[in-house]
Amino acid sequence: MKKLLGPTDRLYPMPSPLVLGGTMAEHDALAVAWIGIGAGTPPSVAMALRRTRRTLELIREHREFTVNIPRADDAAVVDYFGIVSGRKTDKFADTGWTAQPGSVVSAPIIAECPYNMECRVTHEIEIGEYVLVVGECVESHAEESILDDTGEKVDVMRLDPLVYIPGSREYRRLGEKVADAFAVGRTIESKE
């Protein structure tokens, strides 16, 4: 038996990156769970930001943002960026985290986050209290320590990203590998 839970905004699990808007001179960042890949070609990020967010104002002003993936051990800092507004305080000064110049856009990346994506805004769609912001990813950065042995791809266990669970409102880290994607499905024999 399944129980009806009604319309929901809960997907399991969710990422919990910090999204930064602004410039080196003036910037703000917030925690964003409602974020994902909107397209592959061109590579695009889509995220839902409530209209009241200070970071959204900066993104709309400069038309750029960065997505910064934090480590699981940094849950307290990420949560702080998600419960305090940059309208009231300088979250970077409070946490000691640092914005550093990216390579392509003027929005900085966050030094303490080992994986970063630089994006330029391509679309905005207003949905109720939210703005769905889509940005094309024009560059990405990875700390060498999170790359696999080939040095070409991110090893997700070395990245150890923070994961957010809605409903229970908790942070978690990833568990063990269960199978190879685009491959394990071939173990099922066609009935045709």
Ligand X SMILES: Cc1cc2nc3c(=O)[nH]c(=O)nc-3n(C[C@H](O)[C@H](O)[C@H](O)COP(=O)(O)O)c2cc1C
**Which residues of the shown chain bind ligand X in the complex (CB under 6 A)?**
16, 28, 30-34, 48-50, 53-55, 79, 82-87, 164
- Tell the smallest beta-carbon distance from residue 39 to ligand X (Å): 19
Tracing tokens 């269960």 back to the chain, one arrives at 178
CA distance 141 to 27: 19
Query: Cβ of residue 1: shortest distance to ligand X, in angstroms?
Result: 31
Q: Which residues contact 111 (CB under 8 A, 6 or more apart)?
A: 97, 98, 99, 100
CB of 174 to ligand X, least distance (A): 16
Shortest-Cβ-distance residue relative to ligand X: 82
Q: Least distance in Å: CB of 29 to ligand X?
A: 7
Residue number, 88 or 186, with CB nearest to ligand X: 88
Cβ closer to ligand X: 85 or 122? Answer: 85
Residue 59 or 142 having the CB closest to ligand X: 59
Residue placing its CB nearer to ligand X in the complex, 87 or 123 = 87
